[in-house]
Amino acid sequence: VVDFHVRRRQKSMLSARAVVLVPQPHPAFDALMLMAVSIVALLILLVVGTAILASLIAFWPYDLSLSLNNYDFASYDAAGWSSYVNSLKMAGWTALAGTTCAFGGAYLAEKGPGQILPRTLYRALAMLPIAVPGLVLGLGYIFFFNDASNPLNGLYGGLSILVTATVAHYYTVPHLMAVTALKQIDDEIDEAAAALGVPFWRTFARVTLPICLPTVIDIATYFFLNAMTTIGAVVFLYQPATKLASVAVVEMDDTGDTAAAAAMAVLILLSAACAKLLQVLLSSVVVNRTQAWRQRRARDVSDDAAHLLSAT
Assigned domain for 48 exists:
yes
Q: How far apart are the first and last CA of the chain?
A: 49
CATH number of the structural domain spanning residue 159: 1.10.3720.10
Burial class (CB in 10 A: 0-12, 13-18, 19+), 76: buried
As a whole number of angstroms, the distance between CA 16 and CA 310 comes to 27
Assigned domain for 8 exists:
no
The residues pairing with 157 across neighbouring beta strands, listed in sequence order, are 238
Task: For the chain, give the number of residues.
Answer: 312
Assigned domain for 312 exists:
no
Residues 97 and 57 in one domain: no
CA distances (Å), 173 to each of 103, 122, 177, 207, 276, in order?
11, 14, 6, 23, 17
Select from 232, 25, 242, 65 the least CA-distant residue to 137: 232
pTM for this entry: 0.83
CA distances (Å), 65 to each of 32, 71, 298, in order?
40, 15, 55
Assigned domain for 158 exists:
yes
291 three-state secondary structure: coil
Q: What integer pLDDT is reported at residue 299 of this predicted model?
A: 53
Residues 63 and 163 in one domain: no
Assigned domain for 21 exists:
no
- Integer-rounded Cα Rg, in Å, for the chain is 24
Assigned domain for 9 exists:
no
Q: What integer pLDDT is reported at residue 110 of this predicted model?
A: 84
Q: Which of 67, 88, 119 is the last residue of a domain?
A: 67
Q: What integer pLDDT is reported at residue 103 of this predicted model?
A: 94
Residues 117 and 253 in one domain: yes
Do 136 and 209 meet the contact criterion of CB atoms below 8 Å apart? no
Q: What's the structural domain count of the chain?
A: 2
Residues 35 and 177 in one domain: no
Residues 191 and 284 in one domain: yes
As a whole number of angstroms, the distance between CA 169 and CA 146 comes to 19
Q: Which of 16, 49, 67 is the last residue of a domain?
A: 67
Domain membership of residue 275 as a residue range: 76-306
Residues 80 and 56 in one domain: no
As a whole number of angstroms, the distance between CA 8 and CA 44 comes to 40
As a whole number of angstroms, the distance between CA 285 and CA 218 comes to 14
Do 58 and 66 meet the contact criterion of CB atoms below 8 Å apart? yes
Q: What integer pLDDT is reported at residue 185 of this predicted model?
A: 81
Residues 60 and 199 in one domain: no
Burial class (CB in 10 A: 0-12, 13-18, 19+), 200: middle
Assigned domain for 7 exists:
no
Residues 43 and 86 in one domain: no
Residues 129 and 40 in one domain: no
pLDDT in tens, the chain (312 residues): 777 777 666 655 555 555 667 788 899 999 999 999 999 999 999 999 999 998 998 887 688 888 899 999 888 888 889 999 999 999 999 999 999 999 999 998 888 777 778 888 888 899 999 899 988 998 998 888 888 888 888 888 889 999 999 999 999 999 999 998 888 887 777 778 778 888 878 888 888 888 889 999 999 999 999 999 998 888 888 888 899 999 999 999 998 888 999 999 999 999 999 999 999 999 888 877 766 655 555 455 445 444 544 555
Residues 199 and 155 in one domain: yes
Structural element, H or E, at residue 33: helix 27-56
How many other C-beta atoms are found inside a 10 Å radius of the C-beta of residue 260? 24
Residues 32 and 154 in one domain: no
Q: What integer pLDDT is reported at residue 298 of this predicted model?
A: 47
As a whole number of angstroms, the distance between CA 118 and CA 208 comes to 22
As a whole number of angstroms, the distance between CA 74 and CA 143 comes to 32
